Each structure stands twice: as structure tokens, then as C-alpha cells.
Amino acid sequence: MSKKGLVEAALFVSDNPLSIQKLMKIANTEDSSEIVGIISLIKQELQNDDRGIELSQTPEGFEFRVKPEYRDSIRILAPMSDLSEGMMRSLAIVAIKQPIKQSIIIRYQGNKAYSYLKGLEDKGLIKSHKSGRTKIVTTTQDFEKYFGKTSEEMKKILEAKMEEKG
């Protein structure tokens, strides 16, 4: 059994991004540079134009993602499956109203929004910075990569979805 195959399989089945430390444990190694090398090799192999997935690094770790150019075609199979409905609502509020105070999002969604925002920040889709007693929240460049559309295009889509739901 190869360590590269083991790392690849772990990334494939995991619902969440995997850190270098977690991958070291799975591959039964204490050498982080070995895992970094394996990740680099997998990333390089997936860069071929005929591959539909890529290996992405998020603040939480590494994960496989569908390449942006394929997302629209397969969206019906798993539309934003890694985002809960609450996270999607929070993300929609941020995308539409950004920059927005965290306190306003909490007012819209209640205290559960703190965990939604943390999850979105962990995925690298939003960022925040302290401003007085609250935080200012905006989307990131990874937001555009994740959806394969510009922030403006996503803003229009999310506004339309929010209007549909009333």
C-alpha cells in the first residue's frame, strides 16, 4: 500500500479538509515534508486539462474540489453539498451586503450565525476583521473560485434565490 494512495484515498472520502498533521497520522509517518511532497505530487497530477478535480488548500487543510470550469455542469448532482442551509444564508447575506457588520448578520439569523460564519471562514469563503466591538465581514477570492463565478454574478444569483424563498 503506497502512502500517496493512502493520502489520496483519505482526501477523497473525507467530508472535511485534512491538515498535514491528520494526513501524517493516516499515512503513519512523522515526516511532514513527506506529506508535503505527496500533496505536491497529487496537486501536479491534477493540473492536467482533462482532470475534473483539483487539490485545494483551505485554512482547515487540504481537500479535493471540482474545478471551476466543471461546476455548472455538475451542480445539479451536489449543489453546494458541503454548506448547510444556515451557512448558505449567512454567505448570501455577506455576498449581497458586503462589507457587513457581523452584528447585523447575527441580528438576521440569531446566535447560530456565529458557527455558520466560523465554518465559512474556515473554508476560506469569507474573511473578517475587528472593528470596534464587532467584526466586518466580506467574501474572499476563494469565494469566487469555489462557485466559479465573480462576486457580482454570485450576488445576483443569491439575491434571486433569496427572493424565491420569500
Checking if the pLDDT of 75 tops 80, the result is no
Domain match, 58 and 122 both: no
pTM score, two decimals? 0.56
Q: Residue 123: its pLDDT value, please?
A: 83
Residue-wise pLDDT tens digits, 25-37: 999 999 999 999 9
Shortest CA distance to 45 belongs to which of 1, 3, 2, 4?
4
* pLDDT, position 164: 67
Assess whether 90 and 33 both reside in one domain: no
- How far is CA 55 from each of CA 17, 58, 87, 131, rounded to the nearest angstrom? 10, 10, 23, 34
Average pLDDT score over the chain: 86
Query: Is the confidence at residue 105, as pLDDT, over 80?
Result: yes
Judge whether 79 lies within some domain: no
Higher pLDDT: 136 or 68? It is: 136
Asked if residue 113 belongs to a domain, the reply is yes
Q: Is position 62 within any domain?
A: yes
Angle (deg, nearest 10), helices 85-97 and 102-109:
140
Residue 148 lies in a domain: yes
Could you tell me the pLDDT band of residue 155, with boundaries at 50, 70 and 90? Answer: confident
- pLDDT tens column, 111-146: 999 999 998 998 888 999 999 999 999 998 888 777
Which position has the higher pLDDT, 24 or 60?
24
Same domain, yes or no: 124 and 157: yes
110 and 39 in a single domain? The answer is no
DSSP SS3 for 1 = coil
